[in-house]
Homo-oligomer: A and B are copies of this chain.
Amino acid sequence: MKLKDIGEFGFIGRISRDIRPGSGVVAGIGDDAAVLASDKKGFYSLFTCDMYVEKVHFTKKDVTPYQLGWKAMAGNISDIAAMGGLPRHAVVSIGLTGDEDVRYCDEIYRGMRAAAKPFKVDIVGGDTVTSPEGIVISVAMTGVVEEKMCVYRSGARQGEAVLVTGSLGGSLLKKHCVFAPRVREARFIAGTGRVSAMMDVTDGLVADLEKICAASGVGAMLFEELIPVSPDARRMKGEKTPLESALSDGEDFELLCVVPREAVAGLLKAFNKKFSVPLTLIGGTTDAKGIRVYRTDGTVDEPRYKGYDHFKSGR
């Protein structure tokens, strides 16, 4: 049996089953970041990593080295934010062919530092190696979160509200390489103490909401007229409709969260007063399985956007 037969998530399930977290591990594989006991009373430590491979995640034509560095760093910051935490330190493993211009490599690091600086993330070390077939970057990041503010994917209950920050779809590379990780927004949401589940949208709204649903044992419904479709998604001329883009495009790096219904009005009011990026109610959790999309024409879809599965298929 080949890896591509079981797919990325089949393989992750396999290694998650096998690796038994030891003492001090509050939550291991399966969330945006691992949650670990901390020596600081009332706090957890967070630990995450992401890998970006040339010709899989990016091409040199479509992305500047600055954007590449930004994205590699900001993607990890977004993972820490999605737990309700603050990012702390990063180490960077980078594989380069050696044929790159030195200025190209400098630009990668300039992008990483620019993404890190607003959140006071220090790049404290790394490993620099040859990768003859193309650039590979892996950023690992630690973070910290108050125990009371740590939000998992698994806490959603049925009958709660589903909300998302910003707008979705049309993840043009240029936009998404210099996206702003929603750290302050996530801290605000987590700080209310009224959020049941949260993650960042990296594989697409439906695919990521399915992860929250699977971890929490609930289903969800989304309402077409509520979904904040991005201007980019409306502008794009491709096979997908703007709604399909908003439901299925990856790398939005917006926050997707589930909140008890009675907390929604207060949260929306407080959030939208404080931030320029909107927080929008888009649906709710149910006791059914899977995700249903209620269209404005009265029909109901059960979209099959499974997100990007490395090894298996496209979206």
B142 and A57 form a contact (CB under 8 A): no
How many of A's residues come within 8 Å of B, CB to CB?
A: 77
Q: Is the interface of A mostly helix, strand, loop or mixed?
A: mixed
B53 touches A123 (CB 8 A): no
Residues of B with C-beta under 8 A to A92:
49
B-chain residues with CB within 8 Å of residue A130 when the two chains form the complex? 53, 56, 310-311
Q: Select which of B8, B126, B134 is within 8 A of A128 by beta carbon.
A: B8
How many angstroms between the C-alpha atoms of A53 and B130 in the bound complex?
8
A93 and B140 within 8 A (CB): yes
Chain B residues within an 8 Å CB radius of A120: 22
- Which of chain A's residues 14-50 have a Cβ closer than 8 Å to chain B? 14-15, 18-19, 21-22, 24-25, 28-29, 33-34, 36, 38-40, 43, 47-50
Query: Distance (Å) between the CB of A28 and the closest chain B CB?
Result: 5
Interface residues of A (CB under 8 A from B): 1-6, 8, 11-12, 14-15, 18-19, 21-22, 24-25, 28-29, 33-34, 36, 38-40, 43, 47-53, 55-57, 88-89, 91-106, 109, 113, 120, 122-134, 136, 138, 140, 142, 310-312
8 smallest CB-CB distances across A and B, nearest first, come from A140-B140, A133-B133, A34-B124, A39-B40, A51-B93, A138-B138, A98-B311, A4-B98
